[in-house]
Chains A and B, each alone.
Chain A
């Protein structure tokens, strides 16, 4: 894996420019705020990088709404904060021009669409739960359960503070395989539209002990469809990419591959 560390680094460093504007209906002063521009890491989550956005807009809304939970919208669709930013970007890829224009709201929280997120601890709980689930698939949960609380904290701090080495010194253990066979199953989610994804048990090897590829995975998930391709991290990986390698190198920090089915 050592020689492919550059891939991990490239993926980690992916950032996208976002232009945040306040929902015009919520502006309460005459002039209104300027838009707020920010480079956000693809691998992060919006609540981890929008503190400044909140501070920028809060002075321009009614004082009784300033304590409200902030939420984000793109093209009339509330953005799910519990998806990594890069996943949202890949889902709405066809409609997005950079910088990505996102509308900020403090009013009318869409209760039925979004989970509440009052603080970063909520994101942390969600993130660690994903890591645990992924380890159940990869190693029957044995590695994550053998870790100490400080290891979990280090994973979280790594992603929250954008520290690659800190994150990978622990995450490397979650990516280890003791046998030639690789992980027990590949943790992945295949997004077929903006709010639906498919998750299944797919092994990295076939019964003859040969490495399976992305093509095998897509055949297993979509047995009735041919020529399915997916996007992840803004790229379309070749169908012959080995699954085990993909899982080790193209997974998000939550240890899942997030694959967005390309619709033409």
Chain B
């Protein structure tokens, strides 16, 4: 129940911004990325569903919470890129370890794609990923 409330809050409060697969520095340049892609999405609105997947990033245990939790990402993005993005967004040290979990059960390999995970474990139109600074689920 708590999770559902959180999701609806996020969707009403923030628009889905872009996590561009080519950008090297998403957190600081987020505004420009978002605007740039907004135009492109307007043109390619029909295609968007095919190429982008909504992910919801949730903090676990000692990890800091992200102000924006819901992101729209290219489906071919490897999970390692999502991990790098979270680190940059939260301004964590690049050497600090971050663990990502799907289904609150397993840690996908960094080269696993968002699409594969969404196809197998997505629900309600999105993929929920938990992140943590220490190993959370064995």
A binding-site residues for B, Cβ under 8 Å:
80, 82, 115, 125-126, 128-130, 132-133, 136-137, 141, 145, 152, 185, 195-201
Choice from B107, B117, B121 contacting A129 with Cβ under 8 Å: B107
Closest chain A residue to B137, Cβ basis:
A132
Closest chain A residue to B110, Cβ basis:
A115
Residues A133 and B106 in contact, CB atoms below 8 Å apart: yes
B binding-site residues for A, Cβ under 8 Å:
102-103, 105-113, 116-117, 119-121, 135, 137-138
On chain B, the residues within 8 Å of A145 by CB distance are 105
Residues B103 and A141 in contact, CB atoms below 8 Å apart: yes
Residues A136 and B116 in contact, CB atoms below 8 Å apart: no
Residues A125 and B107 in contact, CB atoms below 8 Å apart: yes
On chain A, the residues within 8 Å of B102 by CB distance are 133
On chain A, the residues within 8 Å of B121 by CB distance are 136
Residues B105 and A136 in contact, CB atoms below 8 Å apart: yes
**CA distance in complex: A128, B112 (Å):** 16
On chain B, the residues within 8 Å of A152 by CB distance are 138
**CA distance in complex: A136, B107 (Å):** 12
- 15 more A-B residue pairs beyond the given contacts A198-B116, A199-B117, with a C-beta to C-beta distance below 8 A: A115-B109, A115-B110, A129-B106, A129-B109, A132-B137, A133-B102, A133-B105, A133-B106, A141-B105, A152-B138, A197-B116, A199-B112, A199-B120, A201-B119, A201-B120
Q: How far is the CB of A122 from chain B (nearest CB, A)?
A: 11
Residues B109 and A128 in contact, CB atoms below 8 Å apart: no
On chain A, the residues within 8 Å of B119 by CB distance are 199-201
Residues A126 and B120 in contact, CB atoms below 8 Å apart: no
On chain A, the residues within 8 Å of B138 by CB distance are 128, 132, 152
On chain A, the residues within 8 Å of B111 by CB distance are 80, 115, 195
Closest chain B residue to A132, Cβ basis:
B106
**CA distance in complex: A126, B107 (Å):** 8
